[in-house]
Amino acid sequence: MSINFNKERFLHRHIGTNPRQIREMLSAIGASSLDELMDQTVPKNIRLTREVELDEPMSEYRFLEEFRELASENKIFDSYIGMGYHETLTPNVILRNVLENPGWYTAYTPYQAEIAQGRLEALINFQTMVADLTGRELANASLLDEGTAAAEAMSMFYAMRRGNKRKGAHTFFVSEGCHPQTIEVVKGRAEPLDIEVMVGDHGELDVSDPELFGILLQYPGTDGSVADYSGFIEAARAQGNQVAVAADLLSLTLLTPPGEMGADAVVGTTQRFGVPMGFGGPHAGYFATRENYKRKIPGRIIGVSKDAEGNPVYRMALQTREQHIRREKATSNICTAQVLLAVIAGFYGVYHGPGGLRRIAERIHGLARVMHRGLQSLGFSVEHEHYFDTLKVRLESNARKEELKKAALARQINLRYFEDTSVGIAFDQVKDLDDVDQLLSLFAGLEGAGDESDDGESDLQVDVRQLAEGVTVDYPDSLTRTSSYMEHEVFNLYHTEHEMLRYLKVLENRDLSLVHSMISLGSCTMKLNATAEMIPLTWPEFSSIHPFAPQDQARGYHLLFEKFKEQLKAVTGFEAVSLQPNSGAQGEFAGLMTIRAYHRHRGEEHRRVTIVPDSAHGTNPASAVMAGMEVVVTQCDEHGNIDPDDLREKAEQHSEDLAALMVTYPSTHGVFEEDIKEICRVVHDYGGLVYMDGANMNAQVGLTSPAEIGADVCHLNLHKTFCIPHGGGGPGMGPIVATRQLEPFLPGHPVVSTGGGQAIDAISAAPWGSASILPISYAYIKLMGNEGLTRATEIAILNANYLKDRLEEHYPVLYTGQNGRAAHEFIVDLRPFKQSANVESVDVAKRLMDYGFHAPTMSFPVPGTLMIEPTESESKAELDRFCEAMIAIREEIRAIEKGASDAEDNPLKNAPHTMRTVMASVWDHPYSREEAAFPLDYLRFDKFWPAVSRVDDAYGDRNLMCSCVPMEAYSEGQQPAAVD
């Protein structure tokens, strides 16, 4: 037999089944080949007739070699730019054991609290830290970035207008001291809601203006200035206005927190809490507010409840606030947050503790003070008396500023250059006195700074260590923090690496992730996040670059962007790409705003109606409302397809005002709709455009495309189809891809030139969104190539149909295509069991935990069902194991139906079963301990134990508590006290 000299292909590592298993599965479902299965599943009229034009696939090792060369094109300069992005030190114990650990980054959003207690505790640490530092009672579990958090504050205030402000107030004031990217994101969110944004000096604002409803301030300001806002906030609130403050969280260890000044909301970013700059992201934004705003706060909040054993446990609280429930009534479309980054930031706070954070802040502030003294000795003037980390230095002319810039770049230093003659210098955790010395020598070298020697060099010498003597934190009383913070013991126990390591491992072991078993969440595509794709994430060439660094220093990033855009164009069939949206929901908003700009450009701004199928994910109508659209719902027929007659009727009825159709393809019912091209044609005939939600793109790649079906723009969930890990609820990425006619309107940015010639306002704070995780998706496409991507789609469809055919003998399957096939996901109906056995979908979801599985998507898009999506990465053995678990659960239901098992005291109603309950000395259930914990043989040898018993969700919402529980509560079985 001849030797095969071809190198190992990544395709065979990514796809979980081998050719023999594929043949077995095809035989089991009655298909002779993958081609036949695709013909039976994907409508012929949308199939691609040519291959997707991508580079030939690479091996993992060759890719990393080549990508290292691309990374070397990025140049790492010392950054003093600031503007919300700072160099930071990620503690190595957190870097290795969280950021680089699949046990943390492959988990899903913690809807199933019993198998998510680790990251829920990590998130409540984050919330407690943020609430304590900001001086407000309640914080959420992260937002996408600071700009988004500020925009969410505006939206919350607008929805909460009361009294005389209820209808008449439409003006939101933004201080000119805010970061420019924040101002633009706020403007972009305000425009479709007909909110007027006024930017100016808050000191000149008439807070009694009846048009005014809210105000945004920055603390410290973008130029570094620190001011006491107490009097201003008091006056503004007395006139019925609400005030948000965007604050540097680290500075609040030294400065009076905005909550103590009376701010209604405090927002910002936790990037400098151990999260690399990453050319703009991902980072965890934060949002803190008053406790009585708990039902209005955007994003997710983690709360405390109790489990069936009476122990305090964590869960996601008040979920009825979320967009997937409120749909078009939602005030926010937030779906993905930044959980992994919030977890890192919270652990940074745990590791350093309140004293450690203050020492870091004092050192940073001290460097700024020393620099201030040195500049004064050189004859330079610093603009503000009070500051935290940033100095604004006045120069006498633009020529002098350019001279300084040239000298700084020669020394690989990036400063901030204001539009006037000033420069900004922002210090951070990485800098030390040697850096101050280097900067002072830079200023001393400017022409005219001190006396010159014969060789033209300045004779002026500055001794930074002498300047540093006697430097203290010396703010006025009104700006000096006196209140305590982070007193909970979790922030005061784990300051040695050994203790921190063990704490991280304890929490990790409480959570089920892809390292344990398949997570078959429909519409979520929990596929392999390959190690080779993840490795570049922490390379300093990608992680250590400021998003506003000069373009020639980020050549590697820009090469990556261009190559990746070409990949996405090839896969979708479109001609234009924006990488800015940093979540799928943001992609939806960006796409709809682009459509709106297109209609406005054509003189048809009145086109505001968006048609949304009743099966759509809740972010669709929520995004449409955020984009200023009127939502019109079109019905689906009994087969789960959009009813073409109802759609045509709605399109004709709104023909004068039709802006768009939002459609998910394949549908959220797991079906390739045969009439999709006709549906798109109808919308186009009546003047609208088609927005395709890319949530189910994993069933399209290589077989069809958004352009082929007739869409005009779509977003791509890179955290689904293209392998960015879910991170326990973020980060995600949602770039939009569009036709050439929409290219001029793609999102721009106020600091860095990007987007189209008639760009809409920035969607995200950073120009390219969460740029540092784009290498993951780029790597996936490079490693797979067209053949690999197409095969992945085929196997995803095969795996779904294999599971469907095995399970439909035991559970009703709701929707299939014309030939009885599912796409990449399918829905099993559990509603009949409510009447026959008093078993609901939640009971099956909790019982699956006892079998070692995370439940599929529960009660979406149809209440009382499970939507199952296995992805292409799972082995036949894992698929069979899941089927065996589901079939065994069906037999448990059957036992209840037959009266052989008690209707109330049975393994489903009591699930999940913890080690504590199974090993307790008293067991008073009519079924055995073995049946509870080891219902199938494989569990005897490899058992994932849920950390807590079933969580009481209703109790948690009635008795809301959203901060850390005292340690003694766990040992004493105390119930958490309610927050009024």
Q: Summarize pLDDT for 685-697 with one digit per residue, the tens.
A: 999 999 999 999 9
Distance CA 780, CA 775 (A): 8
* CA gap 357, 738 in Å, rounded: 45
**CA distances, 377 to each of 371, 462, 464 (Å):** 10, 8, 11
Cβ contact 322:103 at 8 Å: no
| pLDDT at residue 970 greater than cutoff 70 | no
Please say if the pLDDT value at position 244 is more than 80: yes
Per the CB < 8 A criterion, the answer to whether 145 and 764 are in contact is: yes
Sheet containing 422-426: give its strands across.
381-382, 390-394, 422-426, 416-417
Output the six-digit token pair for 41: 């599943």
Token pair of 523 as six digits: 């519409």
The single residue listed with the structure tokens 């009024």 is 980
CB 749 within 8 A of CB 757: no
**Token pair for residue 735?**
């770039």
Please state the domain extents for the chain. Answer: 7-76+559-798, 92-352, 354-448+461-468, 825-957
Residues 299, 305, 309, CA angle at the centre, nearest 5°? 145
| Protein fold of 7-76+559-798 | Aspartate Aminotransferase; domain 2 (3.40.640)
**Which pLDDT belongs to residue 966?**
67
Look up residue 184 and give its two tokens: 């633009």
Angle between helices 841-850 and 876-897 (to 10 degrees): 130
**Of the candidates 600, 590, 588, 620, which has an alpha carbon nearest to the alpha carbon of residue 188?**
590
Q: Considering only the top CATH level, what class is 825-957?
A: alpha beta
Q: Euclidean distance between the first and final Cα of the chain, in Å? A: 77
CA neighbours closer than 13 Å in the CB half-sphere of residue 306: 16
Asked if 289 and 136 touch (Cβ cutoff 8 Å), the reply is yes
For residue 629, which of 640, 639, 620 has the smallest C-alpha distance?
620
Gap between the Cα atoms of 902 and 517, Å rounded: 30
What pLDDT is stored for residue 332 in this prediction? 64
pLDDT band for 453, please (50, 70, 90 cuts).
very low
Res. 168 pLDDT band, cuts 50 70 90: confident
Residue 455, pLDDT above cutoff 60 = no
Distances from the Cα of 480 to the Cα of 20, 70, 245, 260, 546, angstroms: 70, 47, 17, 11, 30
Report residue 976's pLDDT band, with 50, 70 and 90 as the boundaries.
Answer: very low
- DSSP collapsed to 3 states, 433-497: HHHHHHHHHHHHCCCCCCCECCCCCECCCCCHHHHHCCCCCCCCHHHECCCCCCCCHHHHCCCCH
> Which H or E element spans position 218?
strand 212-219
Q: Given phi > 0 = left and psi -120 to 50 = alpha, else beta, which region is 689?
A: beta
Cα–Cα distance measured from residue 296 to residue 175, given in angstroms and rounded to the nearest whole number: 24
Cα(150)–Cα(268) distance, integer angstroms = 7
CA angle 459–464–468, rounded 5-degree value = 145
**pLDDT mean over 197-221:** 97
Return the bridge partners of 424, or none: 392, 416
Same fold, 7-76+559-798 and 354-448+461-468: no
Residue 456 clears pLDDT 50, i.e. is over it: no
Q: What is residue 979's predicted lDDT score, i.e. its pLDDT?
A: 35
- Pairwise CA distance, residues 285 & 249, whole Å: 10
- Contact between 873 and 815 under an 8 Å Cβ cutoff? The reply is no
Kindly indicate whether the domain formed by 354-448+461-468 is annotated with CATH number 3.10.100.10: no
Q: Which two tokens stand for residue 667?
A: 């549908």
Segment 280-316, tens digit of pLDDT: 999 999 999 999 999 899 999 999 999 999 999 999 9
> What separation in angstroms does the CA of 245 have from each of 264, 269, 598, 791, 887?
8, 12, 34, 50, 54
Structure-block tokens of residue 118: 């680790």
Question: What one-character-per-residue DSSP string does 751-793 give?
Answer: SS--S-TTPPPPSSSSTTSSGGGHHHHHHHHHHHHHHHHHHHH
**Does residue 454 carry a pLDDT above 50?**
no
pLDDT at 774 over 50: yes
Q: Please compute the mean of the pLDDT values over residues 545-572 and round it to a whole number.
A: 98
CB-based contact 726:338 (threshold 8 Å): no
Torsion sign over Cα 516, 518, 520, 521? positive
Give the side-chain half-sphere CA count within 13 A for 308. Answer: 16
CA 841/CA 830 separation, integer angstroms:
6
Contact by Cβ (8 Å): 790, 52: yes
Q: State the pLDDT at residue 330.
A: 60
Give CA–CA dist 248/10, Å, rounded. 43
Q: Give me the pLDDT at residue 566, please.
A: 98
Compute the distance between CA of residue 849 and CA of residue 117 in angstroms, rounded to an integer: 13
CA distances from 665 to 610, 639, 662, 694, 802 (A): 17, 15, 10, 7, 21
Please tell me the CATH code under which domain 92-352 is placed: 3.40.640.10
User: Which residues are 387's β-sheet partners?
Assistant: 225
Place 325 in a pLDDT band, splitting at 50, 70 and 90: low
**How do residues 517-539 score in pLDDT, each as one tens digit?**
999 999 999 999 999 999 999 99
> Residue 568 burial by CB count (10 A; 0-12/13-18/19+): exposed, middle or buried?
buried
Q: What are phi and psi of 800, to 5 degrees?
A: -65, -45
Question: Residue 841 has what pLDDT?
Answer: 97
Torsion over CA: 505, 508, 509, 514 (sign): negative
> Which residue has 């958490």 as its token pair?
976
Q: Which of 80-89, 838-847, 957-966 has the lowest mean pLDDT?
A: 957-966
Token pair in block for residue 261 = 């000044």
Contacts with 341 (C-beta within 8 Å, 6 or more apart), sequence order: 142, 270, 275, 282, 283, 284, 727, 730, 731
For the chain, give the mean pLDDT: 94
**pLDDT classification of 333: cutoffs 50, 70, 90:** low
What's the pLDDT band for 873 if we cut at 50, 70, 90? Answer: very high
Residues 443 and 449: their CA atoms lie apart, in Å, by 7
pTM for this one?
0.96
Half-sphere exposure of 439 (CA within 13 A, CB side): 29
| Range list of H helices, 602-661 | 619-626, 644-653
8 pLDDT band (50/70/90 cuts)? confident
Give percent of the chain with pLDDT exceeding 70: 95
Please report, rounded to a whole number, the percentage of residues in the chain having pLDDT higher than 90. Answer: 90
Q: Pick from 962, 736, 764: which is nearest to 269 by CA?
A: 764
pLDDT value for 3:
86
Distances in whole angstroms, Cα of residue 636 to Cα of each of 630, 641, 703: 19, 5, 25
In order of 181, 280, 591, the CA distances from 752 in angstroms are 10, 12, 21
Q: What b/e string do you get for 454-481 counting C-beta neighbours within 10 Å, with b at 16 or more?
A: eeeebebebebeebbeebebebeeebeb
Residue 523's contacts (CB-CB under 8 Å, 6 or more residues apart) are: 617, 668, 695, 696, 825, 857, 860, 867, 869
Q: Which pLDDT score is estimated for 977?
A: 40
Q: Is the pLDDT of residue 169 over 50?
A: yes
